[in-house]
Each structure stands twice: as structure tokens, then as C-alpha cells.
Amino acid sequence: MKKKILVTGGTGYIGSHTVVELQNSGYEVVIIDNLSNSSADVVDNIEKVSGIRPAFEELDCLDYAGLDALFTKYPGIEAIIHFAASKAVGESVEKPLLYYRNNLVSLINLLDLMPKHGVGGIVFSSSCTVYGQPDVLPVTEKAPIKKAESPYGNTKQINEEIVQDTVASGSPINAILLRYFNPIGAHPTALLGELPNGVPQNLVPYITQTAMGIREKLSVFGDDYNTPDGSCIRDFINVVDLAKAHVIAIDRILNGKQKEKVEIFNVGTGRGLSVLELIHIFEESTGVKLNYQIVSRRAGDIEQVWADPAFANEELGWKAEATIEDTLRSAWAWQLKLRERGIQ
Ligand code: WQD
């Protein structure tokens, strides 16, 4: 019998790619999502990609009674991958309570209900944002946690602590916290990808929308940083590679391979690329010219961060594989597909 995994936020960007990888690896998936930043037709596209339709329930993780009923309706869930969260840094500064409520209470509800329903494992979506500007690069999991730059970032830090404290209290839960760097790209079929609401905040959706003519010009936020070309440096991780890390984390929990009850892994490529480098690679690998201009720095940006993924490479046997060129081409193919579908 297939092992059953609950994926919260499973119609979202990283969630949908992960559902497909779980299905490809023989897991049965139940998705819950409140559709606040995604749509139910993602379930159709998941089915087109994997050939399997996952169970889907529209449900908010803030709804404790609803979650309780969900675990009763789908007995035998063995582990959860918890993606569902609000994730816009700027919005979190304006609406901190929305962020604290959504992101903290959702996790609390799940951790609270897991023992009652015999769910033993959870993989949590954390972020490299917990490192702030690291003193040493590439950054390892042992680097100190810096004061968060935004309420969003703070929710990731607090949620890591909530998991640690819950497990330390003796709750029968095994957890893996995955600290993502900058996920980009789309599924090679162009059936799944990132669909930002309104004006994109993140770099790659802004690049592809500018290339498409939806946005007039890309603004590069700062070229006076202490980096070789003056623009910020990030570790851009392909979303399918990232999705695969989740499947490995689930396998590891369910097969009792963990060395600690809570483990933390960086999920990045180990390669830092500047914003300007990324723009040029996009232009070269797609053949599309980008209209861009340098503007002043964006408040709250970290100058440079990239992962030391050695621990994930060795312990999980996971490694980022996609080339940056293929990844950017996949983002562009997804943008073209959206136009075909009349979405943007
Ligand atoms: C990347 C670089 C910008 C847009 C944030 C969160 C992080 C993670 C991903 C999830 C920066 C520059 C961007 C633009 C630009 N979580 N940029 N022009 O800020 O590294 O990380 O998103 O949801 O937790 O903090 O990602 O894509 O916004 O920016 O020049 O129009 O691109 O200044 O240097 P960031 P990003």
C-alpha cells in the first residue's frame, strides 16, 4: 500500500512541484490549500504531469476543527510537508499580525494534531532568511541565526523553534527543517510554475514578465554593494531539485534514518550568482533581451548569501542538478505557456 503524505499548500509554487515528485516516488498525496495564493486548477495540471490525481481539500490550516476532521477523513497519513504560509516580505511588514497568525498558528495546529492522529513526521519549509547576512560564506547550517529583517523572516525563525521545543517536550514527532535559498524555474512540462499575484516581488517572475512585455522595465535594486559587479548575490535553486529534496526528507523520516529527531538542511546549489549575472544568463540562454535599469537599493535586502550544501549532499544524498541555463529557460517556457493559456 502506498504511504500517505499530507501536503499543506500543495497547489502553491513549491508545493505543486513537490506533490508530483512524491507521486513519482510512489507516495499517495492529500493536498490541503486555502487557495489564497493559488487556484484549484493546479490539481488538474498535477494530474497531467504525474498521471495521478491527488486528493484535494480546500482548507485553511488555521481551521483547527477542519484539520482534525481532515485527519479523520484521510486516516493513515504518515507525514506532513508543511508549505502553507504567507510569504511576501514587504506585505509582512505592513500586516505583521496576519503573518504571525497565519504562519505560526498553522504550524501549531498541525503539531498539536499530529500525535492524536498518529502522524509521526513533518518536513517544514524554512528559509535561508534565518541567517540574515552571514559572517562567513558559503553559509552552513551551524551559522548563527541573526535577528530577522521582517515579520515574515521572524515567522520562519519562530517556527523552527516551535518545532524544536515541541519535539524536545517529548512529542512523538520527527522533523526535518529545510532551509531554502532562492527557488526559481518551473516544471520542464511548463504545466506547473510560479504564478505571482499582481506585481511580482521576486526577481525571476519579474524578469520573465518584463521579457514578455507585461512589465516595461526590470529595476535592479542597487549596483553599489560590496560584490564583484555591485549587485546582490543569491543562490538560485531549481524548483524541481528543491522538490526532490522533500521526497528524500520524507523517505528519511519514514525509514528511521534520522540521526536527530529534528534535522536541519540547507537546500541550495552552493553557487552564488549576482542579479546582473542572472539577467545576462537569462538573455543568453533564452535569446530574449531584457529592458532593465539600475535603481537604488531595496530596503531590507541582504548583500550576499549562498549555501554550503555539503551537509545535505552527504547526509541526504541530494544534490542540485539542473543548470542555471535550463532553469531560466524553464521559467521562460512557463511564462510563454501562461500567455498561451490567456492568464497573463
Ligand atoms: C533577489 C535579488 C533583489 C526583484 C525573498 C525572501 C526569501 C525567499 C525568497 C520566499 C535581490 C533583486 C528583485 C526585482 C531586483 N522566500 N531584485 N529587482 O529577497 O533574496 O528572498 O524571496 O518566498 O525568504 O526573503 O528574493 O527574488 O525578491 O530578490 O533587483 O525586481 O533580486 O534586490 O537582490 P530575496 P528576491
Specify the ligand 1 atom closest to the Cα of 182. 9
Q: Which residues line ligand 1 (CB under 6 A)?
A: 87, 89, 127, 129, 182, 201-203, 206, 218-221, 232, 234, 275, 298, 301
Burial class (CB in 10 A: 0-12, 13-18, 19+), 142: exposed
pLDDT of residue 307: 98
Minimal-distance CA residue to ligand 1 atom 19: 301
- Rounded Cα–Cα distance for residues 9 and 84 (Å): 4
Strands 236-238 and 182-184: parallel
Catalytic residue among 13, 99, 131, 152: 152
Å from CA of 268 to ligand 1 middle: 15
Name the pLDDT band for 343 (thresholds 50, 70, 90).
Answer: confident
Answer yes or no: is pLDDT of 344 > 80: no
Name the residue with cell 508549505: 83
* Percentage with pLDDT > 90 across the chain: 97
Q: What is the pLDDT of residue 330?
A: 98
4 C-alpha to ligand 1 centroid (Å): 34
Q: What is the mean pLDDT of residues 62-86?
A: 98
Residues 234 and 87: their CA atoms lie apart, in Å, by 18
Per-residue pLDDT, 29: 99
Residues 6+ apart with CB under 8 A from 182: 128, 202, 203, 234, 235, 236, 237
Structure confidence by residue, pLDDT tens digits, 16-33: 999 999 999 999 999 999
Instruction: Say which residues have a Cβ less than 8 Å from residue 145's Cβ, sequence separation at least 6.
Output: 130, 131, 132, 157
pTM reported for the whole predicted model: 0.98
Flag whether pLDDT at 138 surpasses 90: yes
pLDDT of residue 300: 87
Res 196: pLDDT: 86
- 13 counts as catalytic: no
Q: Kindly report the average pLDDT of the chain as a whole number.
A: 97
Average pLDDT of span 10-14: 98
- Taking a C-beta distance cutoff of 8 angstroms, is the pair 106, 132 a contact? no
Mean pLDDT within 283-308: 97
- Domains annotated for the chain, with CATH where assigned, are 4-184+235-267 (3.40.50.720), 203-234+270-340 (3.90.25.10)
According to the model, what pLDDT value does residue 197 have? 84
CA-nearest residue, atom 7 of ligand 1? 129
